[in-house]
Amino acid sequence: MLDAFDDVNDVGSYLPEFVYGANDGIVTTFAVVAGVTGAALDPGIVVVLGVANLLVDGFSMGMSNFLSERAERDYERTLGSHTTGTKSPTRTALATFAAFVVAGTAPLLPYLFGFAGSFPVSVALTAVAFFAVGASRALVTDRRWYLTGLEVFAVGMLAASVAFAVGELLRGVA
Residue 39 lies in a domain: yes
Choice between 3 and 48, residue whose per-residue pLDDT is larger:
48
- pLDDT band of residue 118 (cuts 50, 70, 90) is confident
Inter-helix orientation angle 89-104/15-38, to 10°: 40
d(CA 94, CA 21): 10
**pLDDT score of 42:** 87
Under the banding of pLDDT at 50, 70 and 90, the label for residue 39 is: confident
At residue 7, the 3 state secondary structure works out as coil
In whole angstroms, give the CA distance from residue 36 to residue 173: 12
% of the chain with per-residue pLDDT over 90: 49
Cα four-point dihedral sign 109, 111, 116, 117: positive
Assign 23 to helix, strand or coil: helix
pLDDT greater than 80 at residue 10: no
**Predicted local confidence at residue 85, as pLDDT:** 64
Res. 5 pLDDT band, cuts 50 70 90:
low
Res 8 pLDDT > 70: no
Q: What is the span of the domain harbouring residue 60? A: 2-169
174, part of any domain: no
Q: How many domains does the chain have?
A: 1
Short-list 137, 158, 160, 135, CA closest to 146: 135
Q: Is the pLDDT of residue 145 over 70?
A: yes
Distance CA 71, CA 28 (A): 26
Residue 22 lies in a domain: yes
Query: Per-residue pLDDT for 25 more than 70?
Result: yes
54: pLDDT strictly greater than 80? yes
